[in-house]
Chains A and B, each alone.
Chain A
Amino acid sequence: DVKVTQSSRYLVKRTGEKVFLECVQDMDHENMFWYRQDPGLGLRLIYFSYDVKMKEKGDIPEGYSVSREKKERFSLILESASTNQTSMYLCASSLTATIWYEQYFGPGTRLTVT
């Protein structure tokens, strides 16, 4: 069974703080993704990574950066958190990029920036 875990279910941070959201998958998947989920806006892709140290911007990368030093771990970084980054953040992974493979999602981190 594929397991995607996220470091926190709930997180409260202050404006201007640096925030790290961690995601770990245990199935040796090549691809990892970070989305934010907002009511009425659905899921929007922030960043994705198709290999260690490789990353590409998604649709809404502004204000975010990512790090993938190891295959199983993909971190999302908010350099200076702002209130408009209050959201649910979902991490996902999929096995390979060359053929279709299901994306498996983590439980989500609900981030509140005050």
Chain B
Amino acid sequence: AQRVTQPEKLLSVFKGAPVELKCNYSYSGSPELFWYVQYSRQRLQLLLRHISRESIKGFTADLNKGETSFHLKKPFAQEEDSAMYYCALRLDGGATNKLIFGTGTLLAVQP
């Protein structure tokens, strides 16, 4: 069955510390993975997509098919990174861009 697992509900770090938000997936097809972010009182928005291999706001994520993981990383956390982060898996096939979301991790960056 398709599944996205984010094992941490809350991750608290100090400003300037490295951040790693964990995401593991289960999918028999060819995975396409994303990170979405929701800042306080803002709408959910796309942060990055594994295919584009970009660094957005200093965040990167590498798809590791062997470990079925797509962890989000940033070397030095900033207070403005505090938000809810969701990992999402796109299911191929069908007539839609259907996503399966993980349960989310709340990142709290302390000053």
A interface residue numbers (CB < 8 A to B):
4, 31, 35, 40-45, 48, 50, 56, 58, 90, 92, 94, 96-97, 100-108
Contacts and interface: CB of A to CB of B under 8 A. Distances in A.
Contacts of B40: none
A49 to B, nearest CB: 9
Interface residues of B, number: 21
B53 interface: no
Contacts of B90: 100
Given A100-B32, A100-B90, A102-B46, A40 B103 contact: yes
Interface in B4-45: 6, 9, 32, 43-45
Given A42-B102, A42-B104, A100-B90, 20 more contacts: A31-B96, A31-B97, A42-B6, A43-B44, A43-B86, A45-B100, A48-B96, A50-B95, A58-B98, A90-B44, A96-B97, A97-B94, A97-B97, A102-B46, A103-B46, A105-B44, A105-B45, A106-B43, A107-B43, A108-B43
Contact of B97 (A35, A101, A108): A101
B86 A40 contact: no
26 contacts: A35-B101, A40-B9, A40-B103, A41-B103, A42-B86, A42-B101, A43-B104, A45-B98, A45-B99, A45-B100, A50-B96, A96-B97, A97-B94, A97-B96, A97-B97, A100-B90, A101-B97, A102-B46, A103-B46, A103-B97, A104-B45, A105-B43, A105-B45, A106-B43, A107-B43, A108-B43
Contacts of B44: 43, 90, 92, 105
Contacts of A58: 98
The 7 closest A-B pairs by CB, nearest first: A42-B103, A43-B101, A105-B44, A50-B95, A97-B95, A42-B101, A105-B43
Contacts of B103: 40-42
B46 A48 contact: no
Contacts of A31: 96-97
A90 B43 CA distance: 9
